[in-house]
């Protein structure tokens, strides 16, 4: 029967990192009500005035920024915590986590089809605690469980709230099947930054490359603004020197409305860098005066500089071109 605590503890680490990555932070976590998107639901009107903001918010997966960059496998750097996309943080953390998981089996009795349930309390490296319960069927290896985080702090990130998870583990290939997580009012604090998220995540971590589908609402607790990621899909290829990410999905920005996001050239971020060194992100909004959709393109020229191009009237020609430094955004 599959009862080993190594499985449970390592699964906890995986799911904890995913929870940290897949959400924003907040000032609480005990509120039972869900977060709702309250911003504009119209298609964004992209102009030369707002195009740069829209492009960068699309890159960061919300104007709340990516303050969770420190949970990547590289050494956390507080000066870089506002530079990495949330979706990249999630997928990179997943890939790194799964590569470190070890699974063992123990046959302690002959009861087949039994469901083993365990509950434990864990403490963070910078304070707080978490209690989790996990149930595993020793024949099908289906598992499910819950986490409750009580100001659990790891690598300077404090998590409050709870989540539910379920999935299946293959003991022969040592790989996950499809893994599903859902969370409601899960809150993260990183320094003075505070965000809260409601949502769900579905992924197949055994696939190559790894595909992650997310639907979530994120609230910036300093401004109260909410952002909605709808059917957001990230495809991640990690060669341990750099990570390449391709993105499709719709992002609702409370101030501008929604844009559809794609990456005509996948974004590449080298280990240790804050920003992509290459790649192109395209955000498409409503039709312009020429009848076609207005667009803004964000191109990574290097890990320090970017280029913005805006087609405001939708005629297929980009009328506005500007360059700048990532750190200045």
Establish whether the linkage from the previous residue to 209 is cis, with ω within 30° of 0. Answer: yes
- 124-133, 143-152, 278-287: range with highest mean pLDDT: 278-287
Mean pLDDT across the chain, nearest whole number?
74
User: With 0-12 CB in 10 A as exposed, 13-18 as middle and 19+ as buried, what is 215?
Assistant: middle
- Residue pair 259/54 in contact (Cβ under 8 Å)? The answer is yes
Distance between CA atoms of 95 and 162, rounded to whole angstroms?
22
pLDDT score at 194: 74
Q: Is 235 left (phi over 0), alpha (psi -120 to 50) or beta?
A: beta
Record the pTM. Answer: 0.77
The three-state secondary structure class of 57 is helix
- Specify the DSSP class assigned to residue 197: E
Element (H, E) at 167: strand 157-170
pLDDT digits (tens, 9 = 90+) for 268-297: 989 878 789 999 999 999 999 999 999 999
Q: Is 279 left (phi over 0), alpha (psi -120 to 50) or beta?
A: left
The three-state secondary structure class of 58 is helix
pLDDT digits (tens, 9 = 90+) for 22-63: 433 333 334 445 789 999 999 999 999 999 889 888 887 665
Q: Indicate whether 75 pLDDT > 70.
A: no
Q: Indicate whether 71 pLDDT > 80.
A: no
User: With 0-12 CB in 10 A as exposed, 13-18 as middle and 19+ as buried, what is 228?
Assistant: buried
Beta bridge partner(s), residue 267: 245
Dihedral of CA atoms 280, 259, 187, 29 in degrees, nearest 10, equals -170
Considering all CA atoms of the chain, what is the largest pairwise distance in Å, rounded to the nearest integer?
A: 73
Distance between CA atoms of 261 and 313, rounded to whole angstroms?
18
Distance between CA atoms of 43 and 13, rounded to whole angstroms?
39
Which residues touch 193 (CB under 8 Å, ≥6 apart)? 25, 64, 65, 67, 81, 82, 222
| 94 or 294, higher pLDDT | 294
- 41-55, 89-103, 118-132: range with highest mean pLDDT: 41-55
Distance between CA atoms of 60 and 195, rounded to whole angstroms?
14
Element (H, E) at 55: helix 51-60
pLDDT score at 86: 52
Element (H, E) at 194: strand 193-203
* SS3 track for 249-276: EEEEECCCEEEEEEEEEEEEEECCCCCC
What is the DSSP secondary-structure string of 105-164? -------TT-EEEEEEEEE-TTS-EEEEEEEEETTT-EEEEEEEEEEEEETTEEEEEEEE
CA 288 to chain CA centroid, Å, is 32
Taken in order 190, 180, 98, 236, the sign of the CA dihedral is: negative
Which residues touch 244 (CB under 8 Å, ≥6 apart)? 236, 237, 238, 266, 267, 268, 279
Distance between CA atoms of 278 and 266, rounded to whole angstroms?
8
């Amino acid at each position: 029967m599959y009862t080993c605590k190594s499985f449970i503890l390592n699964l906890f680490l995986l799911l904890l990192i995913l929870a940290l990555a897949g959400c924003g932070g907040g000032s609480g976590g005990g509120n039972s009500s869900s977060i709702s998107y309250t911003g504009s639901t119209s298609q964004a009107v992209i102009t030369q005035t707002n195009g740069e903001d829209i492009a960068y918010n699309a890159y960061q997966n919300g104007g709340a920024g990516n303050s969770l960059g420190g949970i990547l496998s590289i050494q956390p750097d507080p000066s870089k915590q506002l530079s990495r996309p949330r979706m990249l943080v999630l997928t990179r953390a997943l890939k790194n986590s799964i590569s470190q998981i070890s699974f063992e089996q123990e046959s302690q009795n002959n009861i087949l089809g039994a469901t083993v349930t365990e509950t434990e309390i864990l403490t963070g490296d910078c304070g707080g605690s978490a209690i989790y319960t996990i149930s595993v069927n020793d024949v099908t290896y289906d598992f499910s469980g819950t986490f409750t985080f009580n100001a659990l702090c790891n690598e300077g990130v404090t998590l409050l709230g709870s989540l539910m998870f379920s999935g299946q583990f293959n003991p022969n290939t040592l790989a996950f099947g499809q893994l599903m997580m859902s969370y409601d009012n899960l809150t993260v604090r990183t320094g003075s930054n505070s965000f809260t998220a409601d949502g769900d995540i579905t992924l197949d971590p055994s696939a190559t490359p790894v595909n992650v589908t997310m639907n979530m609402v994120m609230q910036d607790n300093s401004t109260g603004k909410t952002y909605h990621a709808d059917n957001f899909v990230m495809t991640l290829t990690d060669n341990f020197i750099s990570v390449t990410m391709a993105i499709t999905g719709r992002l609702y920005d409370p101030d501008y409305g929604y844009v559809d996001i794609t990456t005509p050239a996948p974004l590449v971020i080298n280990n240790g860098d804050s920003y992509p060194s290459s790649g192109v992100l395209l955000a498409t909004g409503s039709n312009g005066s020429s009848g076609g959709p207005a667009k803004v393109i964000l191109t990574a020229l290097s890990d320090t500089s970017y280029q913005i191009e805006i087609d405001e009237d939708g005629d297929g020609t980009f009328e506005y071109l500007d360059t700048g430094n990532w750190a200045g955004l």
